Amino acid sequence: MKNPLYLLVFCALIISSCTGQSDRTDESALITGEGIHIEGTWARPATEGRMSATYFLITNFEDEPDTLIGVQSDVAQLVEIHESYQMEGDMMGMREVPQLEIPAQSTVRLQQGGLHVMLIQLTRTLSDGDTFELTLNFANSEDITIEIPARL
C-alpha cells in the first residue's frame, strides 16, 4: 500500500517543480528583457478638435541608454512630448521636451502632472473605450507602434 502513495507524492513534487520552473522563467524573462518595452498605456477622453494627453511607462532593458526622439499619431494634428512642472507658488507650467532619454536598465514614467505625450487638436473624438495608435521613434531602437485606450 505504501508504494502507490510514494508514487503519488513523487508525481506531485514533479508537477509542483515544473510549475515553479515555469514561473521563474517568466520572471527571469521580465528582468532580463531586451530592447524597449511599453506598458500601462492610457489616454484621457476628449472631443474632436480638443486636447488630450497619453501616459505610459517606457522601460529600457538594454545596457546602453536610448532616447525617445519622436512621437506620431493620426489621432491629432500635433503630437509632442511635454512636461507639466511646478513654477513658483501655486502656478503650474508646461514645456516641450524635444527628446526624452531613457537610461539603461531603467523605466521612465509618463504620468499625470509630469511627462506626457500631448495630443493637440484631436482629429476625432476619443470616448471612453476607444483606441488609437501611437508610434514612438527611438535613437537606437526600432520604432514601436502601440495601441492606446482612452479611459476616464
Q: Residues 83-120, buried b or exposed e (16+ Cβ, 10 A)?
A: bbeeeeeeeeeeeeeeebebeeeeebebeeeebbbbbe
CA distance 134 to 53: 12
> Min. distance of Cβ 67 from other proteins in angstroms?
22
> 67 with 101: CB under 8 angstroms?
yes
Give the residue with the Cβ less far from other proteins, 40 or 113.
113
* Positions in the binding site for other proteins (CB under 8 A): 44-47, 50-53, 77-78, 82, 84, 86-87, 89-96, 112-113, 116, 118-121, 127-128, 152
> Min. distance of Cβ 49 from other proteins in angstroms?
9
Give the residue with the Cβ less far from other proteins, 48 or 143.
48
Give the residue with the Cβ less far from other proteins, 37 or 82.
82
